[in-house]
Structure 1
Amino acid sequence: MLRLVVMGVSGCGKTTLGEALAERLGADFVDADDLHPPANRAKMARGEALTDADRAPWLDRVAAVLRDRAPVVVACSALRRAYRDRLREAGGVRFLHLAAPKEAIAARMAARRGHFMPASLLDSQYETLEPPGPDEALTLDARLPPEALLAEALARL
């Protein structure tokens, strides 16, 4: 069963690629942002970074989706190895990491409207990020246009 996590910092294109992959692969799509408890969303909206303790119940929800809804593609930051290890407990989870320089993502976030995650938290996202190695995830260039990113993801999967 397909259990795929499209991961990376906020603004890297996880949702765009995840939705396209789910459609192409005949899987459900879940945006892990929708699984955050209201307190987490409010904290981020205030410009406060989440702690590991804040993320723990959220990661449990994401892991449950991966375990129970396969085939599924989940857009989830999964910034630390420990978070990815928690998600792997669902069994058979694969990761696609969307990576780009902070400046490129900052420009995207500045143009984005209506998202609860303010651009002011981007620094904390990069500080938290433990980039996965090739043994852990396929890494793709998030600066590619969506169609090219989808084609590369499908070819590499």
Structure 2
Amino acid sequence: MSASRVVVVMGVAGTGKTTVGRLLAAELGVPYAEADAFHPPANIAKMTAGTPLDDADRAPWLDAIGDWAERHASGGVVSCSALKRAYRDRLRAAAPELFFLHLTGPRGLIAERLAARRDHFMPSALLDSQYATLERLEPDEQGAEVSVEAEPHTLAAAALEVLPPLSA
């Protein structure tokens, strides 16, 4: 992939979006953004308290990520849960050429990884709400799924393989 598209590394909490996103951005030589940095303080407080975000909470967050993607249309990687089709559509409204890399894996493995995280506001108790919200990529969406059962460097390499070439 040439550096003229933004890749959204998506999935539920604990799939390794940040780790894989940083590795992928480094491999592609493009900027990386962590979507958690776009959350307003009220969202972080809500999640820290164990309360799932609703669509209204996510709207300004998704708009900020969409703005970043639009500004980096020449190439970038951003991690973002992008759990619903409507959220991905909102991001695509700002940056139509987005490619969604959906990190997937067994719930037990993801729960273990999430429980082992330290210094993160997202409690493992919210994993079920993330799965309840998750809508898998549909055939008309630019994207691919990659299993998180491998090590991060292997995942990043697999991600590079599924990124389609850009048409000239």
Residue 162 (structure 2) aligns with:
156
Q: Tell me whether 1:145 sits opposite 2:145 in the alignment.
A: no
Amino acid in the other structure paired with 1:82:
A
Q: Tell me whether 1:42 sits opposite 2:48 in the alignment.
A: no
Point out where structure 1 has 5 or more consecutive residues left out of the alignment: none
Q: TM-score, normalised by structure 1?
A: 0.97
**Which of 101, 121, 124 lines up with 1:119 in the alignment?**
124
Point out where structure 2 has 5 or more consecutive residues left out of the alignment: 164-168
**Aligned partners of 2:66 and 2:97: how far apart in 1?**
11
Listed as ranges, the matches of 1:50-65 within 5 Å are: 50-65=53-68
**Aligned partners of 1:132 and 1:69: how far apart in 2?**
23
Question: Segments of 4+ in structure 1 off by > 6 A?
Answer: none
**Aligned partners of 1:134 and 1:123: how far apart in 2?**
25
Q: TM-score, normalised by structure 2?
A: 0.91
Equivalenced residue count is: 157
**Which of 22, 26, 29 lines up with 2:29 in the alignment?**
26
**Which of 66, 76, 88 lines up with 1:72 in the alignment?**
76
Residue 166 (structure 2) aligns with:
none
Distance apart, 1:121 and its partner CA: 0.3
Amino acid in the other structure paired with 1:20:
L
SS of 2:20 mapped into structure 1 = helix
**Aligned partners of 2:48 and 2:119: how far apart in 1?**
11
**Aligned partners of 1:100 and 1:133: how far apart in 2?**
18
Q: How big is the alpha-carbon RMSD for the aligned residues of Structure 1 and Structure 2?
A: 0.9
SS of 2:77 mapped into structure 1 = strand
